[in-house]
Amino acid sequence: MPGKEDIMQKIIFFVKQNAVMLIAFVAALVTSFIVPPDGEYLGYFDFRTLTCLFTVLLVVCALKNVRFFYTVAEWIVKHFKNARMTALALVYITFIGSMLIANDMALLTFLPLGYFVLVSTKKEHYMCVVFILQNIAANLGGMLTPFGNPQNLYLYSKFNIPDGEFVLIMLPLFLLAIALITACTLIFIKPEPLEFSGIEKKLPHVRVTIYLLLFLFSILCVFRLIPYVLALIIIPPIILVMDRTALAKVDYGLLLTFVFFFIFSGNMARIDVVRELFSALLEKSTLAVSAISCQFISNVPSAILLAQFSDNYRELLMGVNIGGCGTIISSLASLITFREYCEHNPGGGAKYLGVFSLFNFSFFAIMLAFAFLFV
């Protein structure tokens, strides 16, 4: 029988691992007392978003289990001969990865790679900066595609934003993000020589091919080229047969976070005082309000909540993506990075937060000022 201390440690660990989900649950619960559950609750949920997010996460977990992303990234990194170029490769891999597999999954995939590379080449002193730049790359790299960031997937589905228009809205900010991240990497990482010795492993080509086809299928559903219900019918059974552990590794906390915030935002939209307040604020500047709100309630709930009060999806998109930079709670991805860093550097959390804040608020200010040129 586990003792009280063991149970308490497990509770504390669970709370730390699922802080955003628990906050969302409390928010949903509190507002449910103000707006008691009724038939309108079903209208709160965007089932397309939930289905697409689940299937993408599921296939990504299966690909991770066969070391696909790790192996490809390892092969790329081994071709760079100094710390600066290796760090740039890590940041770019995370940047590109977030466009394809979502920002949080990109970090869960490539932060361990960053740690492995830095430790094996005795460049641990760069870990703080590299992790922070990977975090920013994940948050800003995912802005270009509907499935790159969870808030993008929600807004894309809710407002039925045309694919071309979506990319054009985010492209200027995306290009600025590339320039800023590249500049920071070149400035703060020295071109120190290094030797990288990794162990290459062969990929199971048949499984990888099937998983990549399923990934493509899920992406086609995101772009509405295939009914999203088909993804739910086809993908989970195949993954269950080929790798049932992938089903267990899906980030269900993220899915539940969406569910709870759907309830919270739906209830908030039915409270007259709240509706009038947000409507008035958003009329003044949807861009500024959406970006600033992320600093307090994170970018995903900001997107879900504010979309109930404004149909200005252009500024909402820019705001909630820029808002991913800033405070440690402005993005779930930032909390993932902080957790990963602290696991490898016990007692280094305070230093990390200081450097993190310096980088992130600088990016936030520059990106927001630039975005105002387009509104």
Q: Look up residue 265 and give its two tokens.
A: 């935002």
Give the DSSP per-residue string, 293-352.
Answer: HHHHH-HHHHHHHHTTT---HHHHHHHHHHTTSSSTTS-HHHHHHHHHHHHHSTT-HHHH
Q: Look up residue 168 and give its two tokens.
A: 């054009």
| Phi, psi angles (nearest 5°) of residue 226 | -135, 135
Q: Which pLDDT band, with edges at 50, 70 and 90, does 176 fall under?
A: very high
Mean pLDDT, the chain, rounded, equals 87
d(CA 124, CA 106): 21
Can you give the length of the chain in residues? 375
Among residues 163, 150, 67, 160, the alpha carbon closest in space to that of 116 is found at 67
d(CA 48, CA 54): 10
Average pLDDT over residues 333-358: 86
Cα angle 340, 343, 349; round to 5? 85
- pLDDT for 200 equals 59
d(CA 274, CA 103): 31
d(CA 92, CA 286): 30
Average pLDDT over residues 353-358: 95
Given a contact cutoff of 8 angstroms between Cβ atoms, the answer to whether 262 and 44 are in contact is yes
Look at residue 270 and tell me whether its pLDDT is greater than 90: no
Name the 3-class secondary structure at 39. Answer: helix
d(CA 305, CA 295): 14
- pLDDT for 223 equals 74
Q: Which pLDDT band, with edges at 50, 70 and 90, does 53 fall under?
A: confident
Q: Which residue spans within 107-240 are E strands per DSSP? A: none
Q: How far is CA 301 from CA 90, 294, 329, in A?
A: 29, 8, 11
Virtual torsion, Cα 293, 298, 299, 301, nearest 10 deg: -90
Look at residue 227 and tell me whether its pLDDT is greater than 80: yes
- pLDDT for 134 equals 96
The total of other beta-carbon atoms located within 10 Å of residue 195's CB is 8
Look at residue 178 and tell me whether its pLDDT is greater than 60: yes
Q: How far is CA 256 from CA 22, 74, 216, in A?
A: 9, 33, 24
Given a contact cutoff of 8 angstroms between Cβ atoms, the answer to whether 291 and 300 are in contact is no
Among residues 239, 308, 235, 196, the alpha carbon closest in space to that of 64 is found at 239
d(CA 289, CA 342): 32
Among residues 121, 110, 94, 115, the alpha carbon closest in space to that of 190 is found at 121
Question: Which burial class, exposed, middle or buried, applies to 132 when counting CB atoms under 10 A from its CB (0-12, 13-18, 19+)?
Answer: buried
